Amino acid sequence: MLQNKLPGKGTNIFTVMSKLAQQHDAINLAQGFPDFEGPRALRERVAYHIANGKNQYAPLAGVPHLREQIAGKVKSLYNHAVDPDSEVVVTPGATQALYCAITAVVHPGDEVIVFDPSYDTYEPNVTLNGGITRHIGLHYPDFEINWQQVRDTINDRTRLIIINTPQNPSGTTWSEQDIAQLREMIAGRDIYLLSDEVYEHIFFDDHRHLSLLRYPDLAARAFVVSSFGKTYHTTGWRVGYCIAPGPLMEEFLRIHQFINFSTHTPMQHAIADFLAGSPEHHEQLGGFYQQKRDLFLNLMSASRFKLKPSTGTYFQLADYSAISDEPDTEFAARLTREHKVAAIPVSVFYAQKPDQRVVRFCFAKHAETLQAAAERLVKL
Ligand SMILES: Cc1ncc(COP(=O)(O)O)c(C=O)c1O
């Protein structure tokens, strides 16, 4: 019998809920992907590069033009200068970058701090490397970090802290106070940071994105990960990237080369061209999604769900305690089966299940999709 390296980890919740949505012909507001296309000019550029011979292996770290564009972007957005040759690596999705960064620093017995609800790949990646995940639970509706608990959790075995802002699934964003607290926690300690910033362009109202790249002292020990899938509505293309200082990146690359070696070539050329020609796309992404968030909030105001507006990502949490006492996994399944709208139960993102009745809806959808879903949800 094969020994399971990830005991207790079954099929991930996104696959489970999307399958259920399909079986019951439900509107899928569960899995985080848009039901609209990415920019036409970008898609045409992929076709162009496929037709024009960009079809062989890309360099290990990524197509140089794309790495230069990424370096230019982080300089203009976060005033952070990176060397595109030694500090930027293009990866098959942010997912692979997260795996490589965790593998680069975590040795057996090392501890890694994550903030729950946390994205579902972090812990398995730590486990596969023999590390131990220490969970700090944050709770609905504010998800504020108890920094005293972080202080109490840090010890000599703490090797890595994983940050995710804007955060999936809570739809919250870090504040300057969080950054200051983080700085204080790690001062004088040999701790690395992994900052998952795949929603870096999707933030609302008067919030802004606090990339770790804005802070030279924090960037000096950080792997910062982003995803073109989220930015260009192309989650199926699987193109992301990581930025880290040279010595960290050397170790990252050592791992990346034996897993994927390189990332799709034509997509990289197309994204580089598009980044160079249309920077307004990512600059306007927050406004684009804020309209969708506001539409969804508006439509749902007639329902018995309670919604506190998310400040970033394309997810909105909803408290259903006025509708049902069921645990969220049962409620989400029933919502899909009986009311034909699929959502994600938030408790699955916690090591210690919280006492809350909250599900996550994805609003990266056409207005008509959101309207059709809300029409069903207001009846509950
Ligand atoms: C917080 C977070 N990190 C990473 C990813 C993975 O990004 P990618 O699709 O580029 O692998 C996702 C996708 O949903 C996410 O929500």
Summarised one tens digit per residue, pLDDT across range 222-272 is 999 999 999 999 999 999 999 999 999 999 999 999 999 999 999 999 999
State whether the beta carbon of 268 lies less than 6 angstroms from ligand 1: no
Number of other CB atoms surrounding residue 183 within 10 Å: 12
Partners of 167 in the β-ladder:
none
Largest CA distance in the chain: 58
Q: How far is CA 3 from CA 6, 108, 374, 378, in A?
A: 9, 18, 45, 47
**Atom number of ligand 1 nearest to Cα 32:** 14
Task: Please tell me the distance between residue 60's alpha carbon and the centre of ligand 1 in angstroms.
Answer: 21
CA nearest to 380, candidates 322, 330, 332:
322
**Atom number of ligand 1 nearest to Cα 168:** 1
Partners of 226 in the β-ladder:
241
The per-residue b/e assignment along 29-66, b for 16 or more CB within 10 angstroms, e otherwise, is: bbbbbbeeebeeebbebbeebeeeebeeebeebbbebb
Taking CA atoms only, the protein residue closest to ligand 1 atom 7 is: 94
pLDDT in tens, 342-361: 999 999 999 999 999 999 99
Structure tokens at 82: 């990176």
DSSP label of 67: H
- Average confidence (pLDDT) over 128-148: 97
Taking CA atoms only, the protein residue closest to ligand 1 atom 13 is: 32
User: d(Cα 359, Cα 17) in Å, to the nearest integer?
Assistant: 12
Taking CA atoms only, the protein residue closest to ligand 1 atom 12 is: 198
Number of other CB atoms surrounding residue 325 within 10 Å: 9
pLDDT in tens, 271-289: 999 999 999 999 999 999 9
Which one of 15, 119, 242 would you pick to mutate in the ligand 1 pocket, going by the greatest count of ligand atoms within 8 A of its CB?
119
The per-residue pLDDT for 7 is: 85
